[in-house]
Chain A
Amino acid sequence: MRWIRIKYTKWYNILKDGISKNNPIVVAVLGICSALAVTNRVENAIAMGLGVTFVVMASSLMISLIRNFIPAKVRMVTYMVVISTFVILFQMFLEAYFPSIAKALGAYVGLIITNCIVMGRAEAFAAKNPVKYSIIDGFASGMGYMLVLVLVASVREILAFGTFLNMNVTPDSWVNWTVMAMAPGGFFVLGLFIWGIRELIKHYETA
């Protein structure tokens, strides 16, 4: 009985929306640039996913907190300032504690600032909703992004390097698919994923 009731709570629906029904990558097709670039290794995908999740949650929280004070004229600028602050914080954290991941992600950490997911959630949700739902919404969007990133990266890393999280998982006779480590591999796998998941959740675009 309790399970049925959970299905009608607001937070459950926000969570489900972010991860499946409104998944930022698969359904809204936002944040594709970074999704293509960092998915050649699972650890990069996880770091990037966590980074985006942190930035979306933190900026949603902050914007939701001050949503009644933001003057309409400087609305967008405020979002940008808040988002860039958290991105810089995350970048410093990575450089200090995970320098190898910071190097592998390169410019893409800084580019979280321009990731449409963050800006989109700030304008579409956090600016209109109370703090607790904004945090859940940010978490859901971040997780939806990370889920796709990790799935795509798993396929690409196994095919391209024969490893998963740097552990060898393929037989010695395995021949690496170099193309999977490069940009075309990202396009193929991500395209197939978007198609597959849209079939699963029965999301069809009407012309």
Chain B
Amino acid sequence: MNSNLKVLIFVLIMGMITSGLILGMDVLTYERIQENELAETKSTILDAYGVSYTFSNIHDVFEENVETVEVGYEGESYTFYIDKTTQAISYEFLGNGLWGPISGIITLNSTFDTIERITVLVQQETPGLGGIVAERSFLDQFPGVKMIPELLIVKDSSPNQDNEVDSITGATGTSTAFMNLLNASYQAHKNAWDNR
């Protein structure tokens, strides 16, 4: 009993010290990590619009070239990033993949129906299979593809229609999840965009 008590006290003290260390580091780094994520979002959008920037002037270049529009619709707030020269529209999509959340930036043309570029920023799919969802070789299929009536990520070998994209070999679950989340976020954002 006495030795069990000792173990318990030891584990408690250990837990407090280690979680204290982690909490302290979190307080120190939280703001910088948030800033880095914001800069990453901005750099993705600027890449999609073909604007060149450096890491020191990214915020100014972003202000100059991109208009940020907030739209409130049915109690939700949607953010759109609009290219001031081409009127192309970007927004952030977020949804569930097969194993965890997938999020990134999608850029549509000015009439809000054709994909110009997709970038996946966060994903936790199986490395080498579903993880291909974040690779450029997969995402480069999307430009020019229509979101209307809905985007389809398909397995068959027939030539793709103008709203179809080939799925990832060996990752049907991720492909389907990616398709669903893109369509769902498209519908939500389209409704908000049309009612702005």
Contact = CB atoms under 8 A, between A and B. Distances in A.
A74 interface: yes
Interface in A26-77: 69-71, 73-74, 77
B22 interface: yes
A155 B122 CA distance: 31
A77 B11 CA distance: 9
B10 A71 contact: yes
Contacts of B36: 95-96, 99
Secondary structure at the B interface, as helix, strand, loop or mixed, is: helix
B159 interface: no
Given A89-B25, A93-B29, A107-B127, A71 B6 contact: yes
B11 A74 contact: yes
B10 A99 contact: no
A71 B21 contact: no
Contacts of B15: 81
A92 interface: yes
Interface residues of B, number: 20
A69 B18 CA distance: 16
Contacts of B26: 92
Contact of A73 (B7, B28, B29): B7
B137 interface: no
Given A71-B3, A71-B10, A97 B22 contact: no
Nearest to A86: B21
Contact of B14 (A78, A88, A96, A99): A78
Interface size band for A:
10 to 19
B140 to A, nearest CB: 18
Nearest to A106: B127
A116 B3 CA distance: 30
Nearest to B21: A85
B129 interface: no
Interface in B19-36: 21-22, 25-26, 28-29, 32-33, 36
Most buried by B among A82, A89, A107: A89
B40 interface: yes
Contact of B7 (A74, A88, A95, A99): A74
Given A73-B7, A107-B127, A81 B18 contact: yes
- Most B CB atoms within 10 A — which of A69, A77, A92, A93? A92
A28 to B, nearest CB: 26
B10 A74 contact: yes
B21 A92 contact: no
Interface of A: 69-71, 73-74, 77-78, 81-82, 85, 88-89, 92-93, 95-97, 99, 107
Interface of B: 3, 6-7, 10-11, 14-15, 18, 21-22, 25-26, 28-29, 32-33, 36, 39-40, 127
Given A73-B7, A82-B14, 20 more contacts: A69-B10, A70-B10, A71-B3, A71-B6, A71-B10, A74-B10, A81-B15, A85-B18, A85-B21, A88-B25, A89-B21, A89-B22, A92-B26, A95-B29, A95-B33, A95-B36, A96-B28, A96-B29, A97-B32, A99-B40
